[in-house]
Amino acid sequence: MKKLALVIDPGHYPGYNPGVDPTVYEGNVMYSLAEAEKKYCDAKYSDQVDCILTRGMNENPSLEQGRGHKAVEMKQSGNYEIVMFMSDHTNAPGGNPPDPNVTGVCIFTSQFRKNTYDFLRKLADVAASAMNSHFLYMDAKPLSAADPADWWGVVRGAMNHAKTQQEADQNGADYAFIIEHGFHTNPVECAFFKSQKNIQRMAEAKIDFIMEYLGIKKATNSTMTAFWLCDGTLEITYAGADGVNLRSGLKITNSNIVGTLYKGEKRRVVQGIKMSDGQEWYRLESGEYITANKNYVKYTENNRKEKVGKVTGVASNDVLNVRDFPNSSAGNVTKTLKDGNLVRIIGECYNNGMQWYLVDQGDASNKFKGFVAARYIK
């Protein structure tokens, strides 16, 4: 289950609502903003977030069913802990001609999502700060006395046309709001959206804040800083029904999951790995990686064999490879041995039915440690 479905509604449609600068249309620049938000979200947060737009660039879906209701569908899928519906707009104060001096960021939301007002107030500040503006006001109100569902069509749709708190909590989005990024009737705020750089800055500020607020971490490009060879047993201690994933790489992402282990299952570990982000991993003898986080797994070193062995059966013009992983086609050769060399056997494992020894030099000089094919050690 992913943490968040983020449904972004690019307000209106192309050519709708020209600003005080007639080359800026609300419907166009809000599509650019929503698209930048989705791209940034996909690039940085896709491990825990699915982000969708409610319309293509040239489409104009209906407010309640075509836009807002997309969030209800995400809610009903059962695939997300949280569903957030955000409709991106720029504002106009009404009046003819409209007052060009009105500025600020406004929020229009659901009467049934009072628990999100603190978040929305902060998000408004983040957006205002990105465009050197200020918070103006936030509002939530009913359609009419006869229909107490939310006033704004997209919000009403995202709340599944709920008329009561109970209906809202059944299928409504967890967050449902319109954010008005300043007034396109004001020359300065209108001009802000002429710049793609400004749009990008706004998108990143909003998305980073939303994720930080929800505790969703940005993907990092972490690199391996250390690894060591070992011979141990890993036992899954985490009792959750989702288990602990086996991965083909040293990164937490959905695309590299190759299996899952559950509480009580055991595997042999042949490598420990430390990453620049501080995370530690184990590599199993079968090649997969698994977290070394003690909240999920327990590691026990296997009994050391502490036996001296002699390299045997290697031709005089050949060498025996010492590897950093027990597999002749994975990992690296770290040293070579000659027929007759002595090694200390400190571990043993099997990979694809082939027996390997973990060996070291056995004295203080010229220390090495690695895996060798057991059939050459007598």
Summarize as ranges the residues that interact with Zn ion (CB under 5 A): 11, 89
Smaller CB distance to Zn ion: residue 88 or 288?
Answer: 88
Smaller CB distance to Zn ion: residue 11 or 232?
Answer: 11
Question: In which region does residue 160 sit, left (phi positive, over 0), alpha (psi from -120 to 50) or beta (all else)?
Answer: left
CB of 95 to Zn ion, least distance (A): 16
CB of 253 to Zn ion, least distance (A): 36
CB of 162 to Zn ion, least distance (A): 23
Smaller CB distance to Zn ion: residue 153 or 232?
Answer: 153
CB of 178 to Zn ion, least distance (A): 8
d(CA 124, CA 180): 9
d(CA 235, CA 250): 19
Smaller CB distance to Zn ion: residue 48 or 87?
Answer: 87
Smaller CB distance to Zn ion: residue 107 or 346?
Answer: 107
- Cα–Cα nearest to 218, from 51, 41, 8: 41
Contact between 330 and 283 under an 8 Å Cβ cutoff? The reply is no
CB of 154 to Zn ion, least distance (A): 10
Smaller CB distance to Zn ion: residue 50 or 180?
Answer: 180
Smaller CB distance to Zn ion: residue 128 or 297?
Answer: 128
At 74, list the tokens: 């995400």
- Cα–Cα nearest to 123, from 72, 88, 94, 160: 88
CB of 29 to Zn ion, least distance (A): 11
Smaller CB distance to Zn ion: residue 154 or 203?
Answer: 154
Name residues whose C-beta falls within 8 Å of residue 166's C-beta, 6 or more positions apart in sequence. none
CB of 59 to Zn ion, least distance (A): 16
d(CA 334, CA 350): 20
CB of 185 to Zn ion, least distance (A): 12
- Computed from CA positions of residues 47, 48, 53, 54, in that sequence, does the dihedral angle turn out positive or negative? positive
CB of 30 to Zn ion, least distance (A): 7
Shortest Cβ contact with Zn ion: which residue? 89
Contact between 62 and 225 under an 8 Å Cβ cutoff? The reply is no
Name residues whose C-beta falls within 8 Å of residue 113's C-beta, 6 or more positions apart in sequence. 140, 159, 168, 172, 174, 175, 176, 177
Question: CA 363: distance to chain centroid?
Answer: 47
176 φ, ψ to 5°? -145, 110
Smaller CB distance to Zn ion: residue 11 or 331?
Answer: 11
